[in-house]
C-alpha cells in the first residue's frame, strides 16, 4: 500500500478525507487498516467526532473484528462453505443478465452475495479526546471478497 492521498481537509470544523490505493492478492483477504485510521484521525485534528472508513467496491467490505489468524482462517473456511465459488449465480449468467454489464466482466456472483452477508461498505467509529474508540481486540479491516485487483478505500474524519 502506498501513502494515502489527501482528498480534502478543513479546519473549522475539522474534516479530513484520505484515499488509500492498494492491490489485493487473493479472495477473502483481510487488510488491517487500524493504524492508518488512527493516523488519519491524528492528522485531521479531530478531538471529538467520528471517523468513517468506506470502500466504493460492491465485492468488498469494511468490518470491525479481531485480527487473529485462527479467526481469519475460520472465516475463510466458513464463507467458502456457505457461499461457494463455481456454482450457479444468475449474476454470472449473461444469457439472462442485462444490467450493469462490462466488456471485461468478472465471474463473481459469489463475491456479491458474500458482501451482503459479511458486512457493509463502511463503518463509523466514535472519536473522543482524539482517540478512535475501538475495543481491546477490535481492528478495522478491509475484506476482499472477489479476486486480486486494484482497490481503494477512503478514511473520513470529522468533528471538532
CA distance 91 to 108: 8
The pLDDT of residue 75 is 93
- In this prediction, residue 150 carries a pLDDT of 96
pLDDT tens per residue, range 133-160: 999 999 999 999 999 999 999 999 999 9
pLDDT band at residue 77, thresholds of 50, 70 and 90?
Answer: very high
98 or 159, which is more confident: 159
Q: Which residue has the cell 457493509?
A: 120
In the chain, the domains with their CATH numbers are: 5-88+107-129+142-159 (2.60.120.460)
DSSP sequence for the chain: ----EEEEEEETTEEEEEEEEEE--STTEEEE-HHHHHHHHHHHT-SEEEEEEE---TTEEEEEEE--HHHHHHHHHHHHHHS-SSS--GGG-TTT--SS--TT----HHHHHHHHHH-BSEEEEEEETTEE---TTEEEEEEE-S-S-EEEEEEEEEE-
Amino acid at each position: 500500500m502506498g501513502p494515502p492521498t489527501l482528498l480534502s481537509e478543513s479546519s473549522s470544523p475539522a474534516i479530513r478525507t484520505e484515499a488509500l490505493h492498494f492491490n489485493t492478492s487473493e479472495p477473502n483477504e483481510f487488510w488491517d487498516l487500524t493504524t492508518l485510521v488512527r493516523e488519519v484521525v491524528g492528522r485531521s485534528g479531530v478531538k471529538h467526532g467520528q471517523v468513517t472508513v468506506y470502500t466504493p467496491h460492491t465485492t468488498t467490505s469494511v468490518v470491525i473484528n479481531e485480527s487473529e489468524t485462527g479467526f481469519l482462517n475460520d472465516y475463510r473456511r466458513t464463507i467458502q462453505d456457505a457461499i461457494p465459488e463455481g456454482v450457479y449465480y444468475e449474476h454470472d449468467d449473461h444469457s439472462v443478465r442485462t444490467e450493469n454489464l462490462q466488456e471485461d466482466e468478472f465471474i463473481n456472483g459469489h463475491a456479491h452475495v458474500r458482501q451482503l452477508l459479511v458486512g457493509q461498505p463502511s463503518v463509523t467509529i466514535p472519536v473522543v479526546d482524539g482517540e478512535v474508540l475501538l475495543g481491546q481486540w477490535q481492528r478495522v479491516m478491509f475484506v476482499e471478497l472477489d479476486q486480486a485487483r486494484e482497490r481503494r478505500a477512503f478514511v473520513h474524519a470529522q468533528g471538532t
